[in-house]
Structures are given as structure tokens and as C-alpha cells.
Amino acid sequence: MSKSSSKEQFIRIWISFLKRQVRSNSFYGCPIARFMTSTDKSGTSQEIAKYVLESWYEVFSDFFYSLGRSDEIPQTFFRALCDKKARQCIKVFQGNSQLYVITGDRRYFDEMEMELLEIVNGE
């Protein structure tokens, strides 16, 4: 995120990073999903996973928010929009990552990039 001056640039850098991991056979899916599938589904592990996900949502939302807002959009509405986009981005990442892990089909990363750009560019 620190290398990005826009949401679009962030998405492209992130996807490029993921694709490099795939090319080098070092992409194993989402660390949270891997953790949850390899541990007992106790309340403790679920609480840890929820905490990590909430932290991840917050980081994305804060980044989107930091890029500024239009004066035409009330601040509280813009914050809620950033929160929504953050959650959508994580869901798209999770889904496409797991589909790649299941199938080995690299096209899921191309689809992920297009879907993420649609999210960050939409209102």
C-alpha cells in the first residue's frame, strides 16, 4: 500500500505480487484460510481468525479512506463505502485464492484483478 498512490495502483501491485508467488510456486492461498483448515475449529481459533480478518478489513478501509473523498459525499457515508469496499476486496481475494488452490488455474488471478478494480472504481 505504501507504494501506491491510488486504489487502482494498489490492486495492480498486489495482483502482480500474487502472480509472482504463483510463478515461483510459493503461493499457498490465504494464510488465514490455511490456518483455519489446519486447526481444530474451536472458538479460540475462530476468534483469532475473526480478529485477523477485522484487522485486515480495517487496514484496507483506512487505505481507501486516506486517498481522499469528494466534497459531494458526506464523510460518514464515505467511511461506510470504504468499509464496504474493503470487505468486498477481501471476499474476492479469498474466493479466487481458494479456487486457484483447488484447481491450479492461474486465470483466477486475472479475474481477481478485474473484479477488484470493479470494486474500487465503483460507487
Q: What is the pLDDT of residues 26-74, one digit of tens each?
A: 888 877 777 777 666 666 777 888 888 899 999 999 999 998 776 777 8
Could you state, in order of their start, the residue ranges of all structural domains in the chain? 7-121
pLDDT of residue 39: 64
Q: Across all residues in the chain, what is the average pLDDT?
A: 88
pTM for the model stands at: 0.86
Contact by Cβ (8 Å): 86, 44: no
pLDDT of residue 71: 73
Counting residues of the chain whose pLDDT is more than 90, the rounded percentage is: 61
Q: What is the mean pLDDT of residues 61-88?
A: 88
Counting residues of the chain whose pLDDT is more than 70, the rounded percentage is: 92
d(CA 114, CA 123): 16
pLDDT of residue 45: 77
Q: What is the mean pLDDT of residues 95-106?
A: 93
pLDDT band at 116 (very low <50, low <70, confident <90, very high): very high
Angle at CA of residue 113, ends 110 and 114, nearest 5°: 90
Q: Which residues contact 28 (CB under 8 A, 6 or more apart)?
A: 34, 101
